[in-house]
Structure formats: structure tokens, C-alpha cells
């Protein structure tokens, strides 16, 4: 990458989080440990992080 600006698609469900950077040029998946007492939401960490645009979409379960 030559830019310090990236795009990220983040998919979360009850058990996992998957992140796709710049249309899939880099991807990462991790276990999600859900607790009922977590009221802080989503965190981004790093140096000088600025979120310019954030869109959140809900999806229906395939298990209904």
C-alpha cells in the first residue's frame, strides 16, 4: 500500500470477527468472546486513527 488511508469490511457474529482490508488485500479472523457486561462497543487501536466513514448493517440469521 502507498496510502495511509485504508478501507475495512468487518463482519461480526456471535462467535467470530472477520476483517478484510482494501477489498481483501489483507484479511484477519479472530474469535469473539461475547460478554453481557460489555457496554463499550467497537474499539479501533493504533497511532493517530481517524475513522472517516462508518456504516453498520444488520443481517438476518440463516438459522431461522
Which pLDDT does position 6 carry in this prediction? 84
- Are 15 and 4 spatial neighbours (Cβ–Cβ below 8 Å)? no
Which pLDDT does position 26 carry in this prediction? 92
Q: What is the pTM of this model?
A: 0.66
- Are 11 and 17 spatial neighbours (Cβ–Cβ below 8 Å)? yes
Query: Can you give 2-55 as a three-state secondary structure string?
Result: CCCCCCEEEEECCCEEEEEEHHHCEEEEEECCCCCCCCCCCCCCCCCCCCCCCC
Which pLDDT does position 49 carry in this prediction? 78
- pLDDT tens per residue, the chain (64 residues)? 456 788 889 888 878 888 898 889 999 998 887 666 656 667 777 777 788 888 888 778 787 6
Which pLDDT does position 5 carry in this prediction? 83
Amino acid at each position: 500500500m502507498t496510502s495511509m488511508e485504508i478501507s475495512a469490511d468487518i463482519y461480526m457474529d456471535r462467535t467470530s470477527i472477520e476483517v478484510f482490508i482494501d477489498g481483501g488485500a489483507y484479511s484477519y479472523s479472530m474469535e469473539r468472546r461475547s460478554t453481557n457486561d460489555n457496554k463499550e462497543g467497537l474499539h479501533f487501536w493504533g497511532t493517530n486513527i481517524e475513522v472517516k466513514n462508518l456504516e453498520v448493517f444488520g443481517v438476518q440469521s440463516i438459522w431461522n
